[in-house]
């Protein structure tokens, strides 16, 4: 007897599963708000040196603000004041002719900076003066956050396979909530960086565990529904972030705003079920019986009753006292192949998605509207891929979306820059394909790995993805070496990584594997 047979009896896609998805939507909305929070809290507003130190109480004081800037700060080629330089003393002759200001000697800003707060009341840059020679520290915050995510992927993947999905999910909720709120009140850059890293650590569990928990409770025919619904919650959260950032322009209050929904998630955690698959795979038949009976009751399948003896005989039991680790991903031949290929896919998907996202120019709109449009573009891509994965299969869609992303990049490299509207359309299509690829990879990976090590596998995949996220900005820096080089690398990576899914098995309408033996010695029926 397989667990899918139990799901058929208790209804594998009824009110019970729907309620679980609803309870997990709120915490999943928080994910993009934190993942992309740096776009707003680390925004670098226009700024120039504070010239108050040049006020000698004489002629300087009688000048207008514009005149003070002219005699105190050199002008860039674009006509704007220099951000990091000032004159050692006022040069009043520039009021008559400012064209020779670049030839005069300058010094670094002596009394700090003055910021344009019209768009943002405060950001990390204005809070700790992360400008000029400290500008890199502002950009580094994203890297620090993703390092927390990477480390969290390793830890939560292992712990949720060992101690269960539900308990580790609660720990993730609490960790992300505590450190998320704490980071908003950090009194130094270093403290903030540490707290953001720990926030990322907690959010990883929400990202990985919530999807796996849903899929393990859903029957074969509706696994794609769950995956796409979860993915759409990311896009919705991404769009909400634009609205939150527009309304809350202070970085501290914005951090509090995007963290607050996790308090609701903690309160609703008590209604979430543990994964019955995981319970049975770990010899906890009595607890599994409780949740299975509860599912049957909510789904109005009262006739479905399973005795402990029946549940204990389910064929998903391996060695009940065995503790699985990441080493089990490479101990056996087919698991090694599976681990290698999925790692290549995850790296390709992540590096391509973020490489495109960081390199697509806006539409000449403000930062909020641009962010909202790019988030909204993902929705139709996900709806289209939802139709395709149930017709063409997971393997074909995974390979196809990555390869098509690479083709879009290749086309854009040969389109003249003067045809900006065509380039924009192709770029948007490429981003849509890359987002569709991200949607498929979560579902496909979950279906490929067995229950006893599924969370370890998702943790490993998440680590590889974070590596791709980290590498993407570094690839874009190669533009200084040769302008087309970043696009060539991302394009080649998308196409090459897109070929690897063709070596993986198809999982459309297939039962979820429960043990490693199901991978190494699959039954004739799969």
Tens digit of pLDDT for each residue in 29-38? 999 999 888 8
pLDDT of residue 400: 95
The more confident residue out of 25 and 374 is: 25
Domain membership of residue 120 (yes or no) is no
Same domain for 224 and 346, yes or no, is: no
We report the CATH number of the domain holding residue 358 as 1.20.1250.20
Same domain for 308 and 426, yes or no, is: no
Same domain for 138 and 15, yes or no, is: yes
| Strand, helix or coil for residue 48 | strand
Full DSSP string of 375-444: HHHHHHHHHHHHHHHTTT-HHHHHHHHHHHHHHHHHHHHHS-TT-HHHHHHHHHHHHHHHHHHHHHHHHH
The more confident residue out of 404 and 474 is: 404
Same domain for 92 and 20, yes or no, is: no
The more confident residue out of 477 and 511 is: 511
Q: Of 319, 349, 373, which marks where a domain is finished?
A: 319
Q: Are 494 and 403 in contact (CB under 8 A)?
A: yes
Same domain for 312 and 298, yes or no, is: yes
pLDDT of residue 319: 44
Q: Which CA distances in Å does 34 have to 46, 207, 251, 480?
A: 24, 12, 12, 30
Domain membership of residue 167 (yes or no) is yes
Q: Of 84, 115, 146, which marks where a domain is finished?
A: 115
Instruction: Give the tokens for residue 2.
Output: 């397989």
Domain membership of residue 123 (yes or no) is no
Q: Beta 47-49 vs 85-87: how paired, if at all?
A: unpaired
pLDDT of residue 102: 60
Same domain for 525 and 415, yes or no, is: yes
Highest mean pLDDT among 279-283, 361-365, 382-386: 382-386
pLDDT band at 55 (very low <50, low <70, confident <90, very high): low
Same domain for 337 and 482, yes or no, is: yes
pLDDT in tens, 320-330: 446 778 888 99
Q: Of the candidates 370, 446, 382, 424, which has an alpha carbon nearest to the alpha carbon of residue 235? A: 382
pLDDT of residue 28: 92
Full DSSP string of 442-491: HHHHHHHS-GGGHHHHHHHHHHHHHHHHHHHHHHHGGGGT-TTHHHHHHH
Q: Of 71, 89, 115, which marks where a domain is finished?
A: 115
Domain membership of residue 124 (yes or no) is no
pLDDT > 70? residue 97: no
pLDDT > 60? residue 308: no
CA–CA dist 337, 480 (Å, integer): 37
pLDDT > 60? residue 471: yes
pLDDT band at 172 (very low <50, low <70, confident <90, very high): very high
pTM of structure: 0.79
Same domain for 291 and 420, yes or no, is: no
List b or e across 469-486, with b for residues whose CB sees 16 or more CB atoms inside 10 angstroms.
bbbbbebbeeeeeeeeeb
Least confident residue range of 15-24, 259-268, 313-322: 313-322
pLDDT > 50? residue 169: yes
Same domain for 366 and 447, yes or no, is: yes
Same domain for 284 and 297, yes or no, is: yes
Q: Which domain holds residue 92?
A: 47-115
Please state the domain count of the chain.
Answer: 3
Same domain for 54 and 99, yes or no, is: yes
Domain membership of residue 122 (yes or no) is no
Domain membership of residue 505 (yes or no) is yes
Residue 524's contacts (CB-CB under 8 Å, 6 or more residues apart) are: none
Domain membership of residue 157 (yes or no) is yes
Same domain for 296 and 148, yes or no, is: yes
Domain membership of residue 223 (yes or no) is yes
pLDDT of residue 20: 92
pLDDT band at 285 (very low <50, low <70, confident <90, very high): confident
pLDDT in tens, 194-252: 999 999 999 988 988 888 888 888 888 888 888 788 888 888 998 999 999 999 989 99
Q: By percentage, how much of the chain surpasses pLDDT 70?
A: 89
pLDDT of residue 311: 66
CA–CA dist 113, 123 (Å, integer): 14
pLDDT > 60? residue 362: no
82-86 contacts: CB < 8 A, separation 24 or more? 82/48, 82/49, 82/106, 83/46, 83/47, 83/48, 83/49, 83/113, 83/131, 83/132, 84/49, 84/108, 84/109, 84/131, 84/132, 84/133, 85/49, 85/109, 86/48, 86/49, 86/51, 86/54, 86/110
């Amino acid at each position: 007897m397989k667990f899918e047979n139990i799901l058929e009896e208790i209804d594998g896609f009824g009110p019970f599963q729907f309620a679980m998805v609803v309870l997990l939507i709120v915490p999943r909305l928080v994910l993009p708000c934190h993942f992309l929070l740096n776009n707003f809290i680390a925004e670098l507003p226009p700024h120039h040196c504070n010239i108050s130190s040049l006020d000698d109480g004489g002629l300087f004081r009688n000048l207008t603000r514009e005149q003070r800037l002219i005699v105190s700060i050199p002008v860039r080629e674009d006509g704007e004041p220099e951000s990091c330089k000032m004159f050692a003393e006022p040069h009043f002759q520039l009021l008559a002719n400012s064209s020779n200001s670049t030839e005069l000697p300058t010094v670094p800003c002596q009394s700090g900076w003055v910021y344009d707060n019209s768009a943002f009341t405060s950001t990390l840059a204005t809070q700790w003066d992360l400008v000029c020679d400290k500008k890199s520290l502002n950009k580094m915050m994203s890297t620090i956050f993703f390092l927390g995510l990477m480390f969290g992927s390793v830890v939560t993947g292992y712990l949720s396979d060992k101690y269960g999905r539900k308990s580790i999910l609660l720990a993730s909720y609490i960790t992300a909530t505590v450190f998320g709120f704490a980071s908003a009140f950090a009194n130094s850059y270093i403290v903030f960086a540490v707290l953001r890293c720990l926030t990322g650590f907690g959010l990883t569990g929400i990202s990985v565990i919530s999807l796996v928990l849903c899929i393990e409770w859903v029957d074969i025919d509706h696994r794609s529904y769950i995956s796409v619904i979860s993915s759409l919650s990311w896009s919705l959260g991404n769009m909400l972030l634009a609205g939150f950032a527009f309304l809350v322009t202070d970085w501290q209050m914005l951090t509090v705003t995007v963290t607050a929904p996790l308090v609701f998630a903690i309160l609703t955690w008590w209604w979430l079920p543990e994964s019955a698959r995981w319970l049975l795979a770990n010899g906890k038949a009595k607890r599994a019986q409780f949740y299975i009976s509860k599912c049957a009751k909510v789904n109005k399948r009262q006739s479905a009753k399973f005795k402990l003896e029946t549940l204990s005989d389910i064929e998903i039991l391996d060695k009940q006292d065995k503790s699985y680790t990441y080493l089990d991903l490479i101990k056996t031949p087919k698991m090694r192949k599976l681990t290698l290929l999925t790692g290549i896919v995850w790296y390709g998907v992540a590096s391509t998605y973020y490489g495109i996202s960081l390199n697509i120019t806006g539409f000449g709109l403000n930062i909020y509207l641009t962010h909202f449009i790019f988030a909204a573009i993902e929705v139709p891509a996900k709806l289209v891929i939802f139709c395709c994965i149930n017709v063409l299969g997971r393997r074909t869609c995974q390979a196809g979306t990555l390869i098509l992303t690479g083709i879009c990049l290749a086309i854009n490299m040969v389109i003249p820059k003067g045809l900006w509207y065509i380039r924009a359309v192709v770029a948007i299509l490429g981003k849509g394909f890359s987002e569709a690829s991200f949607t498929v990879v979560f579902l496909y990976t979950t279906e490929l790995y067995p229950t006893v090590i599924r969370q370890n596998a998702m943790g490993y995949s998440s680590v590889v993805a974070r590596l791709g996220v980290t590498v993407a900005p570094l690839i874009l820096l190669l533009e200084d070496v040769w302008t087309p080089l970043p696009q060539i690398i991302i394009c080649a990576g998308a196409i090459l990584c897109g070929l690897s899914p063709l070596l993986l098995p198809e999982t459309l309408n297939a039962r979820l594997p429960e043990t490693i033996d199901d991978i190494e010695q699959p039954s004739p029926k799969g």
